């Protein structure tokens, strides 16, 4: 369990650096990330490098015993670069360009910009790549943030043509696969294809999907160019990127694999995230100061898989932020709790954003571990407490890797893209559906791995697939070989790879193990509420419902009040034919867990648990004191069973 901080020496007088470094070390911080936005100071004019300040900053921090994470500055190209190459600015869907004057103002497909990035990264890496204090490099910053991907530029179009040519080989095959006979959309050549923006009504969904697939590959290949340079000059360092929470613009599994990342890092702003995602208003209100109990855990569990077991929190909320619709001060204890929560889910490092609140420019309303006058902030005091607790407890400071959970939730980026392109009803959102299932599993006290549909699923006892748009034979092979319980949600197997309805109707290839067919689907305005009850739990379908025909051997486990099947099952496979109200999802999962021999326990409101390396952690996100589900004779290494709001405890497993 190590603590870090994000620091911007270029924003403060040099006279402060040594004292900052000393105070960081005294606080218990081991890692400091620097430089990811400092291009204009590293290279004030084209080709003219000014390393002296950065040398001094690196040496000052290293002299205090701190380990460094050095950021490449490609998220903030300086003005001279934009003036020399204005076509580096990205193009929005409406055809206009973003301006200079903030950050992320670059087109990921611009060959000029790609060259410029390789140049600055090579210059940095040659200078600092073998510095013993620099243990890791962060590439760029939050790829895709601020909606700068996709870019609808001429550069993107040219590269899209090449991408399509490689995928389809002939224009005839593209026309066929895309179904371009519809509305006379047939193209005479690859060059004749445009980008899927500015069409009077919907563009062809497969055109939109292929553009998203292409853009996802663009992000990975843009990034790969930096990785190749860093591998050469910084062979011993960990290479990572700081991803975002709830962010699906590119396929993170493929990105991490294509880039051979050592660690998946992500930026965790739980309160701001709770405010900005599609949660019921009642939950946003309830968790306004603690954040929703699953909102960080969801991404901890996702990035653990993306990093093949190794993940860091590169930026952790340290107090109120500046960018959500509302930005409250966190409840007392949360800044400390979020660190333990990340560790319990397997994080190696939790690094707070930022060392000191900056009194000027865009983020002056964003807190840090210090107030602008250099006093420790309330969040800084909580980090001090956590650092002391960890230092004084051997069981906490040396945690081993988290074990594989018994339960997996499959999350799939392409499914997100397909159902965004074709929501069919305005309230259908795939990631929100996945989150609903995940939340239910966590309310039942379970540890969860979030994994790709291409992962090896053979060791899990319960596999939950809230939906998976394309189900191929390889996936069904996994089901046939496994002894797990499988739960599928609506829209599973509803599309082919070419964004069409499978010839044998949904759920496509899943019919091999679950003979049933989806005849019609409907989205539900809030006044349409097909009701049902499962095992005494009452509820309705929301957002989405299917009319399913179950074949003779398939069991109808539950049905709606209008007699359409709601849950059908055969052997170890269940299919849920709608988006059900939350308590019903939980009931279905509880039954499946019980069939899988996994013990569940419904936790009190706001309480969550997580196990790692012989320790069980419990966290209270609720407003009321609760008791952690520890055995009566448990040995606590942190806190005690009674948890006030915002408190955490940990005990040794028997
Ligand atoms: C992140 C970003 C940081 C900072 C922070 C503020 O998205 O990486 O540079 O802007 O948000 O919360």
- Over residues 334-345, the pLDDT tens digits come to 999 999 999 999
Helix (H, G, I), strand (E, B) or coil at 541: strand
Q: What is the pTM of this model?
A: 0.98
pLDDT tens-digit readout, 559-618: 999 999 999 999 999 999 999 999 999 999 999 999 999 999 999 999 999 999 999 999
Residues 90, 155: Cα–Cα separation, whole Å = 10
Confidence of residue 654 (pLDDT cuts 50, 70, 90): confident
Please name which of 263, 333, 330 lies closest in space to residue 303, comparing C-alpha atoms.
263
Confidence of residue 394 (pLDDT cuts 50, 70, 90): confident
pLDDT tens-digit readout, 27-64: 999 999 999 999 999 999 999 999 999 999 999 999 99
Q: Is the pLDDT assigned to residue 467 strictly greater than 90?
A: yes
Residues 387, 549: Cα–Cα separation, whole Å = 58
**Alpha-helix residue ranges (DSSP H) falling in 400-467:** 413-421, 430-443
Give yes or no for residue 366 CB within 6 A of ligand 1. yes
Nearest CA, atom 9, ligand 1? 141
Average pLDDT over the chain, rounded to whole? 97
Give yes or no for residue 269 CB within 6 A of ligand 1. yes
For position 402, what pLDDT does the model report?
87
Average pLDDT, stretch 251-276?
Answer: 96
Query: DSSP state, 327?
Result: -
Helix (H, G, I), strand (E, B) or coil at 540: strand
Give yes or no for residue 104 CB within 6 A of ligand 1. no
Atom of ligand 1 nearest to the CA of 317: 12
For position 449, what pLDDT does the model report?
98
Report the separation in Å between the CA atom of 196 and the middle of ligand 1, taken as the mean of its atom positions: 30
Give yes or no for residue 267 CB within 6 A of ligand 1. yes
In CATH terms, 607-652 corresponds, of 3.90.550.10, 2.60.40.1180, 1.10.10.10, 1.10.10.60, to: 2.60.40.1180
Please name which of 452, 514, 447 lies closest in space to residue 486, comparing C-alpha atoms.
514
Query: DSSP state, 434?
Result: H
Give yes or no for residue 353 CB within 6 A of ligand 1. yes
Confidence of residue 214 (pLDDT cuts 50, 70, 90): very high
Residues 441, 594: Cα–Cα separation, whole Å = 12
Report the separation in Å between the CA atom of 285 and the middle of ligand 1, taken as the mean of its atom positions: 24
Average pLDDT, stretch 115-140?
Answer: 98
CATH code of the region 407-595: 3.40.50.880
Report the separation in Å between the CA atom of 315 and the middle of ligand 1, taken as the mean of its atom positions: 8
Domain with CATH 3.40.50.880 in the chain: 407-595
Atom of ligand 1 nearest to the CA of 244: 7
What is the percentage of the chain residues whose pLDDT exceeds 90?
A: 98
Average pLDDT, stretch 238-257?
Answer: 97
Nearest CA, atom 1, ligand 1? 267
If one compares 450 and 397, the residue with the highest pLDDT of the two is 450
Residues 257, 86: Cα–Cα separation, whole Å = 32
pLDDT tens-digit readout, 634-647: 999 999 999 999 99
Question: Catalytic positions, please?
Answer: 142, 315
Q: Choose one of 242, 246, 267 to mutate for the ligand 1 pocket test, by most ligand atoms within 8 angstroms of C-beta.
A: 267
CB atoms within 10 A of CB 329: 13
Nearest CA, atom 10, ligand 1? 363
CB atoms within 10 A of CB 465: 27
String of DSSP letters for 241-270: EEEETT--SS-HHHHHHHTT-SEEEEEE-H
Give yes or no for residue 141 CB within 6 A of ligand 1. yes
> What angle, rounded to 10 degrees, do the helices at 430-443 and 413-421 form?
130
Domain with CATH 2.60.40.1180 in the chain: 607-652
Please name which of 387, 384, 491 lies closest in space to residue 429, comparing C-alpha atoms.
491
Nearest CA, atom 5, ligand 1? 353
Cα-to-chain-centroid distance, residue 82? 31
Report the separation in Å between the CA atom of 274 and the middle of ligand 1, taken as the mean of its atom positions: 16
Q: Is the pLDDT assigned to residue 401 strictly greater than 90?
A: no
CB proximity list for 547: less than 8 A, separation 6 or greater: 518, 519, 520, 521, 522, 564, 577
Give yes or no for residue 321 CB within 6 A of ligand 1. yes
For position 424, what pLDDT does the model report?
97
pLDDT tens-digit readout, 291-333: 999 999 999 999 999 999 999 999 999 999 999 999 999 999 9
Residues 539, 93: Cα–Cα separation, whole Å = 40
For position 397, what pLDDT does the model report?
83
């Amino acid at each position: 369990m190590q603590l870090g901080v994000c620091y911007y020496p270029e924003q403060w007088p040099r006279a402060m650096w040594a004292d900052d470094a000393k105070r960081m070390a005294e606080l218990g911080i081991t890692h400091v990330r620097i430089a990811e936005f400092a291009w204009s100071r590293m290279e004030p004019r084209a080709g003219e490098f000014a390393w002296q300040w950065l040398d001094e900053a690196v040496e000052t921090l290293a002299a205090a015993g701190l380990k460094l994470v050095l950021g490449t500055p490609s998220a903030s190209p300086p003005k001279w670069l934009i003036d020399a190459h204005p076509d580096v600015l990205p193009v929005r869907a409406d055809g206009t360009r973003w301006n200079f004057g903030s950050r992320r103002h670059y087109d990921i497909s611009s060959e000029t910009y790609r060259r410029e990035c390789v140049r600055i990264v090579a210059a940095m890496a040659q200078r600092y790549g073998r510095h013993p204090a620099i243990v890791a490099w962060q590439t760029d910053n939050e790829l895709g943030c601020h909606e700068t991907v996709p870019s609808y530029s001429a550069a993107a179009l040219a590269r899209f043509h090449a991408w399509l040519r490689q995928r389809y080989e002939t224009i005839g095959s593209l026309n066929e696969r895309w179904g371009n006979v519809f509305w006379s959309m047939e193209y005479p050549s690859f060059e004749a294809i445009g980008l899927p923006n500015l069409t009077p009504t919907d563009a062809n969904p497969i055109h939109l999907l292929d553009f998203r697939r292409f853009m996802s590959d663009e992000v990975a290949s843009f990034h790969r160019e930096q990785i190749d340079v860093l591998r050469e000059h910084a062979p011993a360092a960990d290479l990572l990127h700081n991803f975002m929470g709830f962010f699906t613009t590119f396929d993170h599994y493929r990105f991490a694999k294509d880039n051979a990342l050592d660690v998946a890092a992500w930026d965790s702003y739980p309160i701001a995230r709770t405010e900005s995602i599609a949660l019921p208003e009642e939950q946003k209100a309830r968790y306004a100061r603690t954040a929703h109990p699953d909102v960080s855990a969801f991404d901890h569990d996702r990035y653990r898989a993306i990093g093949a077991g190794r993940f860091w929190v590169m930026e952790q909320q340290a107090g109120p932020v500046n960018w959500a619709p509302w930005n409250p001060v966190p409840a007392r204890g949360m800044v400390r709790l979020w660190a333990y929560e990340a560790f319990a889910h397997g994080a190696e490092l939790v690094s707070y954003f930022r060392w000191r609140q900056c009194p000027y420019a865009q983020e002056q309303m964003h807190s840090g571990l210090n107030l602008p006058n250099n006093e420790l902030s309330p969040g800084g005091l909580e980090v001090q407490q956590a650092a002391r607790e960890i230092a004084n407890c051997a069981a906490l400071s040396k945690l081993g890797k988290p074990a594989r959970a018994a339960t997996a939730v499959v999350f799939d980026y392409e499914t997100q893209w397909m159902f965004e392109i074709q929501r069919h009803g305005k309230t259908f959102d795939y990631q929100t559906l996945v989150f609903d299932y995940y939340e239910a599993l966590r309310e039942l006290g379970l540890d969860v791995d979030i994994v790709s549909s291409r992962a090896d699923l053979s060791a899990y006892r319960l596999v939950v697939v809230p939906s998976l748009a394309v189900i191929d034979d390889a996936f069904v092979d996994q089901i046939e070989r496994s002894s797990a319980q499988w739960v599928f949600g609506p829209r599973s197997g509803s599309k082919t790879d070419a964004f069409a309805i499978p010839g044998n109707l949904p759920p496509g290839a899943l019919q091999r193990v679950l003979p049933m067919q989806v005849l019609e689907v409907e989205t539900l305005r809030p006044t349409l509420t097909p009701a049902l009850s499962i095992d005494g739990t009452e509820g309705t379908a929301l957002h989405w419902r299917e009319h399913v025909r179950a074949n003779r051997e398939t069991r109808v486990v539950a049905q709606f009040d209008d007699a359409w099947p709601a849950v059908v099952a055969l052997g170890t496979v269940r299919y849920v034919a709608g988006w059900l109200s939350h308590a019903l999802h939980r009931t279905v999962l509880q039954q499946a867990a019980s069939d899988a021999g996994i013990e569940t326990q419904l936790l009190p409101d706001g309480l969550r648990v997580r196990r790692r390396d012989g320790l069980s952690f419990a966290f209270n996100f609720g407003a009321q004191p609760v008791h952690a589900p520890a055995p009566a004779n448990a040995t606590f290494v942190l806190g005690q069973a009674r948890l006030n709001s915002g408190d955490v405890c940990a005990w040794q497993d028997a």
